[in-house]
């Protein structure tokens, strides 16, 4: 499959206006989906998150595309959401996780292993895990009423699954509360190969640029339903269908969230101190605000899944000691999260996978994401592989809840064994990862605010130099009979770097008509940044 090509202009634009914008000024805020934006980094870092709002604005200033929610609503609840999730994931039920980290990579014969101490993690003695959550006990669950499994060595999937699940025959136990998602030192060709493979599982051929340029990519106001967005997509033969756009946003949002965690808990290898690395965040996320938008998108999708699963989660047995005290504490915290999810989880899943080819598109969607979950077996860093498996399983569980299960199936009284314990743990921990990413962005904003003007200007210069360093001059033939735009399109067919330069040239020629967007860094660039 041909890789992704991003025909977007250079990032080299003024950045000094980035983070002090009010919500009323959304035409220059990252909340705007418009391609005509300047000051990408300032837009992200100087944005002031909303504190009080609901998904009831008639004309919200920041609609999240293909959802029924807006950025302000997510921002207004995220502090409380993150606090509740941080407490919940430390409870016994949600912190103990069994997974096989040493299954062979199914896609290439060998992969490099990270020798950095930051990649290593400690396992948990099975005796420290409550008996009811050990593999031996979980394997006794009656599977007679559960879907047929498609078995592979050590894992399986059911027809409704969007991922491969461990069969609990192998694997170790981990205490997730002791394993932070952070910088590990895992980088280079092996890490790049992982992300390249993940993006190549998106054979729909989407990119950040054509996501942002579609008619439905920048609605003036929040649509009454996603049907409006779906109709606009399918009326344009050259546009990608909504399902494919959603798939790409899920992958890109996951990537951006992981990058945010790496940059937020970064090891200064000179001082040995852990601290937020603003330069890292700027280069990987803030200089491409659409990546931050996709973190919001995934947060809404996960919240919607939790809201739909609310009755099932409320009926689940979380008791680990037999006293039910921890069960009551877990349920109280979880109830608050479900309440928040009902406020901000406004995603209309019913408009996806409809029409004559719905089943074909859904199976393609599932196959791609199942393969992404298998790619996690190829990650050479133990800590990265662990969190990669958890988060891909969590997102896959959310998609199963939204796209496969009806209300009758979700009834906890009729279907008590609907989900594996690992799916429930992964779903909540993944939502915590995304809520924490959004809180981390606020930390980066505080770092930016406290920087001197000299340091902030230097950061901007370094970001611009990094962007311009990815662009090489291309030959120009002013006498060519082929129009400039057609030349650019031809170069985009040849590869990303040529496409970037061609886009820069087009933008320069038509500077009176178009402002630079700075979104030259799609997956082909982004995976090289890890």
Distances (CA, A) of 385 to 86, 188, 316: 21, 16, 28
- For residue 512, the tally of other CB atoms under 10 A from its CB is 5
Cβ 127 vs Cβ 194: under 8 Å: no
Q: How many Cα atoms occupy the beta-carbon half-sphere of 156 within 13 Å?
A: 13
Q: What DSSP assignment string belongs to 459-500?
A: HHHHHHHHHHTT-------TT-SS-HHHHHHHHHHH-HHHHH
Helix axes 421-450, 242-264, angle to 10 degrees: 60
Task: State how beta strands 155-158 and 165-166 pair.
Answer: antiparallel
C-beta of residue 223 within 8 angstroms of C-beta of residue 233: no
Q: CA geometry: angle at 101 spanning 98 and 107, to 5°?
A: 135
- Distance CA(86)–CA(429), nearest Å, equals 9
* C-alpha span between 486 and 483 (Å, rounded): 5
Pick the closest to residue 149 from 140, 159, 139 (CA basis).
Answer: 159
Specify the 3-state DSSP secondary structure of 193.
helix
Phi-psi category of residue 206: left, alpha or beta, with phi > 0 → left and psi -120 to 50 → alpha:
beta
Residue from 155, 280, 381, 492 carrying the catalytic annotation: 381
Q: Catalytic pick from 263, 384, 492, 499?
A: 384
The phi and psi torsions of 173 (rounded to 5 degrees) equal: -100, 145
Answer yes or no: 384 catalytic: yes
Q: Is 517 within 8 Å of 32 (Cβ atoms)?
A: no
Q: How far apart are CA 62 and CA 70, in angstroms?
A: 5
* Residue ranges of E strands in 195-344: 266-267, 274-275
241 is an active site residue: no
Rounded Cα distance, 131 and 274, in Å: 36
Please compute, for residue 500, the number of CA atoms within 13 A of its CA located in the half-sphere on the CB side: 21
d(CA 214, CA 231): 12
**Which of the residues are catalytic?**
381, 384
């Amino acid at each position: 499959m041909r890789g992704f090509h991003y025909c977007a202009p250079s990032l080299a634009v003024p950045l000094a206006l980035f983070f002090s914008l009010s919500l009323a000024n959304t035409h220059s805020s990252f909340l705007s989906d418009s391609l005509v934006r300047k000051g990408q980094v300032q837009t992200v870092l100087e944005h002031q998150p909303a504190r009080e709002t609901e998904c009831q604005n008639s004309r919200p200033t920041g609609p999240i595309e293909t959802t029924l929610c807006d950025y302000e609503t997510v921002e207004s609840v995220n502090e409380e959401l993150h606090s509740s999730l941080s407490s919940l994931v430390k409870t016994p039920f949600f912190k103990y996780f069994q997974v096989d980290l040493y299954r062979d990579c199914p896609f290439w014969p060998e992969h490099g292993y990270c020798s950095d101490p930051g990649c290593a993690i400690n396992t948990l003695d099975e005796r420290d895990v409550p008996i009811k959550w050990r593999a031996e006990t979980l394997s006794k669950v009656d599977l007679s009423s559960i879907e047929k499994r498609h078995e592979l060595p050590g894992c399986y999937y059911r027809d409704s699954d969007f991922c491969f699940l461990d069969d609990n025959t192998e694997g170790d136990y981990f205490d997730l509360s002791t394993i932070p998602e952070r910088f590990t030192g895992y980088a280079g060709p092996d890490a790049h190969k992982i992300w390249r493979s993940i993006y190549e599982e998106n054979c729909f051929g989407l990119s950040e640029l054509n996501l942002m340029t579609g008619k439905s990519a920048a609605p003036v106001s929040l649509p009454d339903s996603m049907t409006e967005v779906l109709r606009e997509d399918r009326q344009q033969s050259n546009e990608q269908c909504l399902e494919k756009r959603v798939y790409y946003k899920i992958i890109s949002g996951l990537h951006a969230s992981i990058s945010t965690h790496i940059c937020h808990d970064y090891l200064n290898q000179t001082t040995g101190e852990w601290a937020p690395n603003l330069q890292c965040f700027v280069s990987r996320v803030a200089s491409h605000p659409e990546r931050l938008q996709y973190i919001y998108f995934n947060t809404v999708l996960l919240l919607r899944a939790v809201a739909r699963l609310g009755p099932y989660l409320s009926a689940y047995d979380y008791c680990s000691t037999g006293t039910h005290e921890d069960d009551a504490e877990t349920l109280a915290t979880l109830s608050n999260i479900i309440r928040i999810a009902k406020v901000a989880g406004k995603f209309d899943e019913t408009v996806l996978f409809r029409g004559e080819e719905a089943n074909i598109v859904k199976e393609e969607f599932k196959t791609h994401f199942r393969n992404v979950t298998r790619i996690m077996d190829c990650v050479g860093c133990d800590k990265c592989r662990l969190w990669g498996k958890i988060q891909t399983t969590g997102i896959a569980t959310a998609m199963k809840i939204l796209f496969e299960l009806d209300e009758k199936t979700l009834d906890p009284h009729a279907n008590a064994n609907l989900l594996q314990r690992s799916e429930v743990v992964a779903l909540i921990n993944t939502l915590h990862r995304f809520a924490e990413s959004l809180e981390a962005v606020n930390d980066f904003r505080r770092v930016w605010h406290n920087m001197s003007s000299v340091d902030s200007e230097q950061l901007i210069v370094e970001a611009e130099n990094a962007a311009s360093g990815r662009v090489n001059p291309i030959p120009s033939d002013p006498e060519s009979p082929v129009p400039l735009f057609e030349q650019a399109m031809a170069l985009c067919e040849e590869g990303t770097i040529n496409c970037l330069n061609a886009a820069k040239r087009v933008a320069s020629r038509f500077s009176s008509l178009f402002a630079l967007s700075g979104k030259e860094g799609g997956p082909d660039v982004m995976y090289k940044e890890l």
